[in-house]
Structure formats: structure tokens, C-alpha cells
Structure 1
Amino acid sequence: MTGIMYGIGVGPGDPELMTLKAVKRIKSVDIIAIPHTDKELCVAYQIARQAVPEIEEKECIYLSMPMTKDKKVLEESHELAAQTVMEYLSKGKDVGFINLGDVSIYSTCSYLLDRLQEEGYTTRLEAGIPSFCAAAARLGIPLVSGAEELHIIPASYQIKEALQMPGVKVLMKAGRQMEAVKEEIRKCKASAVMVENCGMAEEKIYRSLEEIPEDAGYYSLLIVR
């Protein structure tokens, strides 16, 4: 019998937003897969340990998942990570890959799923609360209502055309491109609010485009209308 690979969403930052199922799954798996080379620097691990102290007793494997757009580097790191996970699955060990936010939205663990499934391993996903839902709640505003459309956009890529779409636009992980992002929003004559590090100790809320600093952190999420 081979083990099962679980992708576990730990939510956006506040450990109280972890689901009961995520907590239960972390407790049940044999191995915790950490998308970092150091668990003390892994945001997902720091969230999970606050809700599930038992995670400290688990055996961990460390999967280097570099933040780069270099396709060759990404391909090599993802293949190595998949091979590492498969070594444990083949021994009958269940592996829980902890993932910030939700496991179906621009998730780190998604890069491993296809590889594992192609090799015949069983994979399952445990949903987590997405950052944009948590951010809207922290701002005290509805994300969308009525017939409004909702568009989720990775802000580290070209956003000019995306901002022309009707409805509400969520710009995820906008920090590194903030100066350019703010300029594009101004050109559209749109309004924006932002939560930086939602649910974390360093959380900051900005209620207008003018308030948003151009040196905002990586985990910065804008809601544009």
C-alpha cells in the first residue's frame, strides 16, 4: 500500500482561520512537507504550529520551491520535490504538504500534483480560506454582490488588460510591483483598498490608493473597483 499525498491549505495567516479538517489532517499524516528549506522561515508552518502544536512532533521533509519565473529552475525544483515526496509515499507514508491560503488558488503544492498522479500516486486536497476572502472580511466590505463579476489576478504579471474587465479585481501578491500596479489603477480611474500580511502579526490595512506604500511587502492584496 502506498501513502497518500495531501495538499493542506492553512489559510491566509490567522491560525484561527485554519479549518477543522486541516487541523485533523495535519495530526493524522506521517510526514509534513514544508515548501522551504527551513521550517522556522516557512510562513505556512508558522501558521500551522499555532493551531496544531503537535506538528512539532512530526517528521518533516524540506522542499525547495524558489520564487522565480525561470522555467528551467522551476522545472528542476518541482521534479526534485516530487521525487522526494514519492520516496515516502512508496513506503506507505501519508504526506501532508502545508500550503498558505487555499490549495487550489496559485498554490505551491499544485506543481507536484500532476507529477504524482502521473506516477500513479493518490493525491487529495484539503481546502483553506483564501486570502482575498479573509482580506474582505478584515476590511469589513463585501467582495462582490448581485451580478458583479470577480476576477483573481496575479499582480506580478501584466495587469493592464485585466484591469479593463468589468466587476471587481483582486490583485494578489502585488508587493514587488506596487509602483507599476498603482500607476495602472490610476490610469483606469479605479479605486483600491489593500491588506498587507492579512491575519499575520504585521498586518496593515489601507483604505485608499493614496495610502498604499510603494514599498509594500510581498503578501499584499488589493481589491480594485
Structure 2
Amino acid sequence: MTIPGQFFGIGVGPGDSGLIPVAAVAALRSADLIYVPRATSASESVAKQCLGDLDLPHARFREIGFLMDPDRSVLAQHYAELAGTIASELRAGRTVAYLTIGDTLTYSTYGYLLAALRDLEPDLRHRTFPGVTSFAATAAALSWPLGEGKERILILPCPDDIDALRHDIESHDVVVLMKIGKRLPQVIDLLAELGLLAHCAFGHRVGLPDQQLYPDLGAARPAAATGYLSTLLIRRHAREQRHQKPETSQ
């Protein structure tokens, strides 16, 4: 009787190579197959690029088309088919890893795949490794503290309703805005209206060669086209000074 293989979900990047837990590297090296998502418009998987120089055998990799379709029935079919493919490999006793950009369970497609696999294999042997979120990478690149003291933080995908976003900003100390897309100009206008631009920072394709960083939106504003693969860090009030400045000599 063949013993079913194990499934690993691994977060890599985002962007920078080498941002991967040591334990996850060991799991990758033990995997017989490594599935990597690739955007249909890209020539190479960004997730695979994020591995850097781990020197894993090329034959182990399987690239899969990264499907982002607004039709949920199409997405459900996509993940059902992918889960079926992976489940067949697990039943054959192979260990399978799946890479995802950023953290495995924070606005990640990995969650859909894991749920579909569990439906097929209720006794699925698996381990999920955490990764670095896009907003943590953006905050680090900009030296922008996400939360200090008792600040209340809200992390959300950008709503279509700008009035709803206004309420979210006015009821929290820090807002991390993701999945902005074409709504970026409206969001920037709202921040300007609220007088918050100088307290906000923005990162686009952080960690990749063409990254763009804006530590102070009051000094420079990003172009509308950078709303995709971007994170906006919004602070409602200026940071409170929590250190004592050295006295200047007279």
C-alpha cells in the first residue's frame, strides 16, 4: 500500500529573494514536485524568482497559470482542477510543495487551494509555512512603523465605495490598504481632502527590480498605473515622538 505524500504551502518573497523561513527551505528540498503560480501575462513565475539561488533541480518545478477571474465559478473550477492534479501526485506517494507570493494565508490564493485539497483528501498530510506579507515588506522598505503603542490597525482590500473607506480611515489609527488597482486616484484625492498625505506612504512592486517607494505622499504622488501590486500605508495622525532627543551643546 502506497503511503500518501505530504503537501507543503510555502510563502516566498514578496519580491526580494531569500525571504523564506529556514524550515520552509528544508521542506522545499524534500519535495518531489514544486508547483509555482505564474501570471498569464508574464514569461516567468515571480514566486520562483523569489527563491533566489537555492539551486533546486529544475525538473521538480511545475508552472501553473495564475487565474484572476471575477467570475467565482470559473475560479472554483480552476482550483478544483489544480487540487485534483496535486491530489493524484500525493496519492502516488509524492511530496508536493506549492509556492505563493507573500504570506500563505493573508489574501492568498493558497487558501482556496488548501480548501479544495481538503475536500478531496480529508486526511491530507500537510504543513503551511508563513511568509512575509506585502504590507510588512512595504513597511520595512520605507522604515514605516505599522503600529505603535495602542494604535488600532485595519488591514483591508480597497473598497469600491470611497465613503466606506473614509469611515474606515476616520475610525482607525492606521489603515493598510491593499488591492487598490484603478481606484488609486480616488484614494489619493480622499487622503488629500482629509489632510493626511504627509502621514501616508506607498509601495509598488516592492522588492522587485522596478519597485517604487513613496515615503511621503505629501511630497510626491504615485501615478495611477501603479495601483496594481501596491500597498498604501495610511496614518490618521502624525507619529507620536516616543524617544528623548539628545540635548544640544551650547
Q: One fold, TM greater than 0.5?
A: yes
Give the counterpart of 1:200 among 203, 208, 211: 208
Tell me how far apart the structure 2 counterparts of residues 2 and 73 of structure 1 sit (CA, whole Å).
29
Partner of 1:216: 226
Partner of 1:32: 34
Give the counterpart of 1:132 among 135, 147, 156: 135
Structure 2: segments with no counterpart, 5+ residues: 236-250
Partner of 1:173: 179
Question: Is 1:61 the equivalent of 2:62?
Answer: yes
How much does 1:150 deviate?
1.5
The secondary structure found in structure 2 opposite 1:215 is helix
Tell me how far apart the structure 1 counterparts of residues 212 and 39 of structure 2 sit (CA, whole Å).
27
How much does 1:207 deviate?
2.2
Partner of 1:70: 71
Q: 1:1-225 residue pairs with structure 2 within 5 A? A: 1-36=3-38, 40-48=43-51, 50-58=52-60, 60-118=61-119, 119-120=121-122, 121-155=124-158, 158=161, 160=165, 161-191=167-197, 192-209=200-217, 210-216=220-226, 218-225=228-235
How much does 1:187 deviate?
4.0
The secondary structure found in structure 2 opposite 1:223 is strand
Letter in 1 for 2:226: A
How much does 1:55 deviate?
4.7
* 1:115-137 alpha-carbon deviations (Å, 9 max, x no partner): 21232222210111112112111
Tell me how far apart the structure 2 counterparts of residues 184 and 134 of structure 1 sit (CA, whole Å).
25
How much does 1:189 deviate?
3.4
Letter in 2 for 1:91: A
The secondary structure found in structure 1 opposite 2:66 is coil
8 Å CA contact retained: 1:13, 1:198: yes
Tell me how far apart the structure 1 counterparts of residues 131 and 88 of structure 2 sit (CA, whole Å).
26
- Computed over aligned residues only, the root mean square deviation of the Cα atoms, in angstroms, reads 2.1
How much does 1:185 deviate?
2.8
The secondary structure found in structure 2 opposite 1:181 is helix
How much does 1:172 deviate?
1.6
Bigger CA radius of gyration: 2
TM normalised by structure 2 equals 0.81
The secondary structure found in structure 2 opposite 1:129 is coil
Identical amino acids, percent of aligned pairs: 30
- Residues 21 and 163 of structure 1: is their aligned pair in 2 closer, same or farther, counting only changes over 3 Å? same
Letter in 2 for 1:28: S
Letter in 2 for 1:128: G
How much does 1:184 deviate?
3.3
TM normalised by structure 1 equals 0.89
